[in-house]
Structures are given as structure tokens and as C-alpha cells.
Amino acid sequence: MDDGSLSISYRENHNKKIIYLTPHIYLYLQCYPKDELEKLKEHIFTTYHLSLKLSSRKDGYGYILKTTSVKETFRFLELIEPVAKTCSSMLYKTSWEFRNQKEILRWKSKYPDYTILTSSSDRSKPYSPDEIKLLRQLKENGYTTNEIAKMLKRSYWSVTYKWQEIKKLN
């Protein structure tokens, strides 16, 4: 994991007093050309059924590989666990349990009364057909994403992503 990292992004919801932690795996392989990373990405998918994405960077050949979902991140960590657990000095890069505990302590010191959660696509509530219909109507009538989010009782980003998804399907 010398060229890899377990990174954690976060989102603060002060209304609900919740901090969402989102783990990501980054493989910093920018010293390899894009076509070689494409081959590696395909090999990893074929061999381990693990989906990685190319992401651009400004250094090297300009690309790295990364996970783009919490589910894939945890699958990656499970895959490397048998080897990674033998190297305790790398736990901060290879163990969600280790890193999650550190993050919880860090956030609890800043916001003692907040709940700390790991982001999960399983937790998100799918849009009903009625919500999708209303979202389309509101967009067509010129409502802003913020206004629609309030009406649907969803986050700005949830509405933004759903609208992008709807537009792609049309």
C-alpha cells in the first residue's frame, strides 16, 4: 500500500447533528500511462470483481485509480485484509476499523453531541415515482434545486444527482 491510501471525506449536517464519514481508496499510480492503468483496472475487475475508476491528477502521466463507492472501498479493504493485517504500521492505510475509531475520536472532540456515521448507499431513500414526477414538473416550471429540495424534504445534492440521472435517461 505504499502507493495507496485510505482517505476519508466528511459531510457535516448541523441540523441533524450528524457527521457522515465516507471512505475512499486511492491508488497513486500517476507514474504509469493512462493505457496501462486502464489495463490494470480491467485486470482488477476481471480477477477480483472490483470496480475502480480513473481519476485525473496534475502530476505524472495525469491519472490515478480510485474507488467511487463505499461498497467498493470496503470490498477492496476485505480483499487486502489477509496481507494488510500482518503489517500493523500500515493500519492507517488498510483498516477501516482503525481509521474509523481515530475519526470518531477526532470528531467527538469537536462535536461531542453529534452522531458519527459511515456513509452508505444502502441508507439512502430511493425516489418514489411520484417524487420523480414532481421533480420533473418543478424543474420544468423553473424552481431552483434548493426550492425543490425543501419541498421534497431532501438534500440539495440528492436532488442535484437525481436530476442529472433523470436527464441522462431522456
d(CA 45, CA 53): 11
Amino acid, res. 133: K
Give me the residue spans of the domains in the chain. Answer: 4-118, 129-169
Which comes out higher in pLDDT, residue 166 or 121?
A: 166
Q: What pTM was computed for the model?
A: 0.69
Q: What is the mean pLDDT of the chain?
A: 91
Residue 43's pLDDT is what? 98
User: What cell numbers appear for 55 in the block?
Assistant: 481519476
- What value does the mean pLDDT take over residues 6-26? 93
List, for residues 18-43, the tens digit of each pLDDT value.
999 999 999 999 999 999 999 999 99
Mean pLDDT of 93-106: 94
Domain 4-118 indexed as CATH 3.10.28? yes
3-class secondary structure, 79: helix
**In contact, 108 and 89? CB cutoff 8 Å:** no
